[in-house]
Structure 1
Amino acid sequence: MWWFQQGMSFLPAALVIWSAAAFVFSFITAVLLRHVDPLVPYISDTGTTPPERCVFGIMLSISAFLGVMTMYVRYKQVEALNQEDERTIFKLNRLGFVLGLISCLGLCIVANFQKTTIIQAHVTGAVMTFGIGIIYLLLQTIISYKMQPLTHGIGIFWIRCVLLIWCAGSIISMFISSVTLYTTIPTIDMAKKLHWNPTDKGYTLHLVSTISEWSLAFSFLCFFLTYIRDFQKITLHAEVDLHSETLYDRLPGHTHIGEHSPLLAGSL
């Protein structure tokens, strides 16, 4: 049995691979069509112009769906392993799941509102995705610390801690460079500027900002790779609980054909 066939480990793997493919595919397409510069453009710039804009939006929307599924399974896992444990983990787990859903909602906003159309909505979605998302990563790191060594080793905690620090450093670097860039060059419509020359004012700040954004995106995704081993021990199934032998109310004098069919009972 391959590793991705064990339990629910395919979920975080699919989330990371699909999201990374969305970034890389749109980047390659935008560069080949000369819609952006090949030297580290903003991720959102690679999904601004058709045809890559449509693919970028669809793939990120699917990534948001995979994110919700992954975070839900993680939420149920922590809940099941700590039913009789301290209330702190229970509260952190519930709060983390809510923040994770907000982060996924932000990703949907980013996917459907491009930077060159409604900049306010796009920035709001980005803040929800990475700003709220990093708090989710922080809570999961704290939960990992409290759950070791009974649930998993200390190594998982340290890996998640390093990825959290990497993610935090990237978001701080991107925030400082972006704010400085937008405040020092007020005459340029930054939202619609897709091409940069090394001689342009603020070019160095632009590079720092874009590199930080790519670093933030991949450090954020790499955090979910640490879920793979945990998810290998999880299986989900749906159980059907019938309150009646038929799907309809029994009417006097009427016989319902197939009401004892084996398809009406059992578990999935």
Structure 2
Amino acid sequence: MWKCSPWTFFPILYSLFTAAGLWVVWDGYKDPPYISNAGDAPPASCVFSQVMNMAAFGGFILGVLRYLQLKQCPCGNVGSLLVISLACIGMTLVGNFQLSNHLTLHDVGSRMAFGLSMLYCWVQSVITLKAEGRSIVAILRFLMSAAVTICMLLYFSLPVHGNLMHGARAQWALVMLFLLFLSSFAFELRHYHFQIDCMDDREQPHSH
């Protein structure tokens, strides 16, 4: 009988709910807008902020779980946790400082979220290759990392040439591919169980 850890469902549910939240923000637009534009004005901005805050929190938890899972593999593991943590901070900046409210902080958060997310994909792909060899999961992660990188380049280059609609599509594809990448952690987490041990180190009072 096939058994797996309950943690295997966490990255899958995280990706599904984050994607669903972003699609709710998109609702009402005929063509795909830039995500930041869709979540710029109320009431969509309220939903957008909540989605990004929850996504940042969930992404950080997933990054910590991945770090604990690979704790015996020091190569790039600590740096990987730092990268995803900073990317999650970028998500909160994007969600809480909309374009019309604070453009500078929004852009800083956007570059942190997208740039560091892309870096995280590559670092995790390399770690997977070193930990598991040329497995199917490692190959798929390298392919997804390459796709994320291509979407990133298109996202930044297409608007420069006036092609805003395709630039927005590249941004949405970038986000969905990154969520798909995170959901792939379910393959490893299905074998792991995590627990928190609480201990009281205080000295017991002496009886007289």
Q: Given the two structures, how large is their TM-score scaled by the length of structure 1?
A: 0.72
Q: For the pair shown, which has the larger CA radius of gyration, 1 or 2?
A: 1
Conserved? CA contact 1:177–1:208, under 8 Å = yes
Name the amino acid aligned to 1:12.
Answer: P
In structure 2, which of residues 124, 128, 141 is the aligned counterpart of residue 160 of structure 1? 141
In structure 2, which of residues 180, 185, 189 is the aligned counterpart of residue 227 of structure 1? 185
Aligned ranges for residues 42-53 of structure 1 at < 5 Å? 42-53=34-45
Distance 1:219 1:44 in 2: 18
Give the Å deviation of 1:245. 6.8
Aligned ranges for residues 1-268 of structure 1 at < 5 Å? 6-28=5-27, 31=28, 37-80=29-72, 82=73, 90-149=74-133, 154-178=135-159, 180-181=160-161, 202=162, 205-244=163-202, 250=205
- 1:72-96 CA deviation, whole Å, 9 max, x = no partner? 010111113x3xxxxxxx1411111
Moved over 4 A (4+): none
Name the amino acid aligned to 1:161.
Answer: F
Distance 1:225 1:241 in 2: 33
- 1:54-74 CA deviation, whole Å, 9 max, x = no partner? 111012101100000000010
Greater relative contact order, per chain length (Cα 8 Å cut-off, separation 6+): 2
The runs of 5 or more residues in structure 2 that have no matched partner are none
Distance 2:196 2:169 in 1: 44
- Equivalenced residue count is 208
Distance 2:203 2:195 in 1: 22
Distance 1:13 1:39 in 2: 27
Q: Given the two structures, how large is their TM-score scaled by the length of structure 2?
A: 0.92
Conserved? CA contact 1:174–1:209, under 8 Å = yes
Give the Å deviation of 1:154. 1.0
SS in 2 for 1:38: coil
Name the amino acid aligned to 2:200.
Answer: L
Give the Å deviation of 1:18. 1.9
Conserved? CA contact 1:14–1:66, under 8 Å = no
Name the amino acid aligned to 2:105.
Answer: A
Q: Percent of aligned positions with the same letter in both sequences?
A: 23
Distance 1:140 1:102 in 2: 15
Distance change (3 Å), C-alpha of 1:239 and 1:128: same
Conserved? CA contact 1:107–1:126, under 8 Å = yes
Give the Å deviation of 1:252. 7.3
Give the Å deviation of 1:212. 0.7
The runs of 5 or more residues in structure 1 that have no matched partner are 32-36, 83-89, 182-201, 254-268
129-138 or 5-14: which moved more? 5-14
